[in-house]
Structure 1
Amino acid sequence: MNIYIKNLVVITIVLSSILTNAQMKTNLALPDDMKAPYLTQITTFGQRCDWSLDGKKLIFLEKTFGDVYEVEVATGELTPLTHHYFHEGYTRALYLSNGDILLSGSKTFDAKDPWKSRHPDNAELWVLKRDLSGPPTPLGVFCKEGPTASRKQLKIAWTVDDIYISDIVYENGVPRLKQIDTIVRSQDLPKEVKNWRLETQNFRPPFDEELIFNAHYPSIEYEAEVMGINLKTKNIVNYSQRPDCYDEPEGIFPDGKHILVESTRHHPKRAEGHTTWDYIDLYKLALDGSGKMERITYFNKDLKYKATNPVVSDDGKFMAFQYSVVGETTGIGHGIIIWDFEKEKEVKQ
């Protein structure tokens, strides 16, 4: 990379940060919960983050249909990962177990009709090499909402209507899907959620023998359940057990015993003029079949903000998430926040 490009990248990052800070200070008052001593806002823009396997970095989207960045947790230093080629923007970015990056994004983008780029007819999966030696390689499949990637092996799962799974293999350095298998179909779900729509979420650690997914359907409000399927026996379990609420699984803890959930249990019925997603806060759900839930955040208490899209570091010590403003569409974020679980325990002793 020549000095001109390096300087241009630095200028772009600085200007982006300045403009975003100015917008936040002018238009947004931070939620009261942000003042907790165990919370640190590491970026002033961005959404849908994912932890690196060593817990030293976070990858995130600049915005929906934007570029992908990486931030070093210790220093806050930003690195753009998708500035070295032209593209139409991304909707997801996840680390693969070898350090490469799984992307979801469309080959086309229309500013007059942007959301069609997020539709499974258009959003494709790609692999970007960790060394940023070129543009990403398409995997030849489409994806609804977010895929998931194993933290231990080169295996991914994704949804269109059904949920699919495949290993990623490299031939002469080029990634491809080895064999695509169908794991879950909506008609295979238990009676109480039969034919509900599906969305992939997590391979359950520590053994990756179960896939956690979301079943959702707008029958009354916009119900969603946290589900799991054993990849060997194909047995399906409903973990949240509240079809009258919106419980969407997000980041899973490394021991596999709990998962973070975006939930509306504190406000299960929406008011006129609001969407279900206006009432989201973060909860911790036990994956032992008990359905036990514990509320973690209270960003939504005054119906101004919501905490969303949490992920847990592989050592279980930190949660990274974003805060959003009530009224915004799903996935929108105004910066990445880190929650230090150990510091929280010290403060609350």
Structure 2
Amino acid sequence: MPNERADVPHVLDDPPPFHSKLLDYGERPYWSADGTRIAFVETNYGDVCELDVETGKVRNLRQGPGEHHAFLRVLILANGDYLLIGPRTFKDRDTSRHVESELWVLDKNADRPPKPLGGRIFEGCGVSARTPLITYAVGGRNDPDRLEPDAYECHVTEIVYGDDGPEFGRDTVFYRTRGTLRPEPQDFRRDDTEVVFAEYVAGAEPPHPRCVVRGCHVETGEFTTYVEEAMVHNECEGIFPDRDHICLESSCDTEWPLFPPREPVGDSRRPSPRQRPETPQLSRSW
């Protein structure tokens, strides 16, 4: 069931002049690489749809064959297939989103049931616009047989296609952490050599930030902190085609975040990016 609507002012109650409303409903929009379509979910744990931006026509992608599943997010892979995120069955909001949410691939024609890839993940996922690579995090609640409850690890994984359809291929774990830090990969840049990710800080107390924007060069293990502000939630959301700018979800409160204009990935609200002094654990399997 969807979340209750908040009775608070919304930025679109008085939209800016460059704003154009496409639909009266929908969540988690994701642009196609050519900018002609937007994939989205009707509502959390709802159907997956796609909007033709020019015509305004909406196509329901999950009215085809196979067992129906409720999804939280949809992204578009480099080959045009859809990457879906959601549980096999809805149990409750916490379990279905934070514990049992997993990855699925739906054929671009949406004429076959989505296939589960067999991996549960923490929150969202990033996809490459040019190669069959995805990036995501796994937490201890997703994989309790392998990870401690407060542990997280970030992956870059290739999706390969065989006789049985899409499946996980080569995998790299590029970051591991425990405690209060909870990373969520968002996007690739620099020809897929760098992953930009948000790192939530659980229970942050002054002067610590609530969420930090970081980047990792996967092959070298070099980390860069792009945006870090005391007691501010700064979360990267959706990279621009130039891969040099990214939307920033920024808020100083804990209930309803604000959405300012884009923030350059290469810049920050500090004079320049700084390198973290620690060396996070890095493992390669490529």
Q: Which TM-score tier does this pair reach, normalised by the shorter chain?
A: 0.7 to 0.9
Correspondence 1:181 to 2:172? yes
Distance in 1 separating the partners of 2:62 and 2:104: 12
| Correspondence list, 1:1-349, <5 A | 31-34=12-15, 36-84=16-64, 85-110=66-91, 113-119=92-98, 121-160=99-138, 161-172=152-163, 174-186=165-177, 196-205=181-190, 207-217=191-201, 218-220=203-205, 223-264=210-251, 268=252, 270=253, 276-291=254-269
Gaps of 5+ in 2: 139-151, 272-286
How many angstroms apart in 1 are the aligned matches of 2:67 and 2:20?
A: 33
Give the aligned residue type for 1:186. Answer: T
**Contact between 1:69 and 1:80, CA under 8 Å: does it hold in 2?**
yes
Show structure 1 runs of 4+ deviating over 4 A: 27-30
Mapped partners of 2:137, 2:261: distance in 1: 24
Conserved in 2, the CA contact under 8 Å of 1:67 and 1:89? yes
Find the structure with the greater CA-based Rg: 1
Q: For 1:113-166, what per-residue CA distance to the aligned partner results, in whole angstroms no more than 9, with x for missing partners?
A: 2332101x3111010001112111111111111011101100001111211111
Displacement of 1:200 after TM fit?
1.2
Give, in angstroms, the shift of residue 77 of structure 1.
0.2
SS in 1 for 2:69: coil
CA offset digits 1:181-215 (Å, max 9, x no partner): 2111125xxxxxx851111111125x121100011
| Conserved? CA contact 1:224–1:243, under 8 Å | no
Per the TM alignment, residue 64 of structure 1 is displaced from its structure 2 partner at its CA by: 0.6
Aligned CA distance change for structure 1 residues 277 and 152 (closer, same or farther; 3 Å)? farther
Specify the code of the residue in structure 1 equivalent to 2:73.
R
- Pair 1:196–1:243, CA change in 2 (3 A): farther
2-side partners of 1:219 and 1:157: how far apart? 26
Provide the TM-score with structure 1 as the length reference: 0.66
Name the SS for the 1:115 alignment partner.
Answer: helix
Distance between the aligned counterparts of 1:103 and 1:279, measured in 2? 25
Question: Which structure: greater strand fraction?
Answer: 2
TM-score by length of 2: 0.80
Shift of 1:289: 4.5
Q: CA deviation at 1:286?
A: 2.2
Q: 1:243 to 1:162 in 2, by over 3 A?
A: farther
- C-alpha displacement at 1:44, in angstroms? 0.7
CA contact (8 A) 2:46 2:72 kept: yes
Q: Report the 3-state secondary structure (helix = DSSP H, G, I; strand = E; otherwise coil) of the residue aligned with 2:227.
A: coil
Identity %: 32
The Cα of 1:86 is off from its aligned counterpart by 3.0
- Give how far 1:288 is off: 2.4
